[in-house]
Homo-oligomer: A and B are copies of this chain.
Amino acid sequence: MKVRDKLIYTAARLFHRHGYNSTGINQIIEEAEIAKGSFYYNFKSKEDLCIAYLEFRHTYWFTKLRQYVKKHAGESSEVLCAFDFLVSMNELENFRGCSFLNILSELNENDSKILEVIRSHKSDLRDYIKTLVSPGISDHVYLLFESSIIESQLFKDQWPIIKSKNIVQSLIN
């Protein structure tokens, strides 16, 4: 695996687990077993790494979501599968919540570049949901989708997703 990718994967794991500000460069390079010089050869700053991490996470997450929906599309409608995907991700990642919103809370006014990446991700999600349901309810579904992620992280319980899924089911019928 390439050094750059190893750093991004390690950062992904640590950012997701301990948060952005609580994870130091030294910890990342130590766990990735990469020299500090190589880190700054590949990234010009920690912010630069953060953006690369979010872009990686964006691709990873969306790819998994699309695959999941496509794979389970026979069982129920696509939009309901999207909620099942959230359940499976919570199981996989132990209720860590949304990588993008987790970082959003740690931003100060100067991090406008990172904020733009986060907004872009959520806009893409909003657009994706538009392709799954009729236009009249798509933002409604988007808002429930977002709540599902955050509230299940908070309570470490799947009930917000199940609840949201049931609401959406009644909406599309």
Contact = CB atoms under 8 A, between A and B. Distances in A.
Contacts of A151: 122, 143, 146
A106 B19 contact: yes
A133 interface: no
Contacts of A148: 143
B119 A143 contact: no
Q: What's the dominant secondary structure at chain A's contact region? A: helix
Task: Give the oligomeric copy count.
Answer: 2
B143 A101 contact: no
Contacts of A122: 151, 154-155
Given A18-B108, A106-B22, A108-B19, A163 B150 contact: no
A144 interface: yes
Interface string A115-127: 0001100100000
25 contacts: A17-B108, A19-B21, A19-B105, A21-B21, A21-B22, A21-B106, A22-B108, A101-B154, A102-B105, A104-B105, A104-B153, A104-B154, A105-B105, A105-B106, A106-B106, A118-B154, A119-B154, A122-B155, A143-B148, A143-B160, A143-B163, A143-B167, A144-B144, A146-B147, A146-B150
Interface of A: 17-19, 21-22, 97, 101-108, 118-119, 122, 139-140, 143-144, 146-148, 150-151, 153-155, 160, 163-164, 167
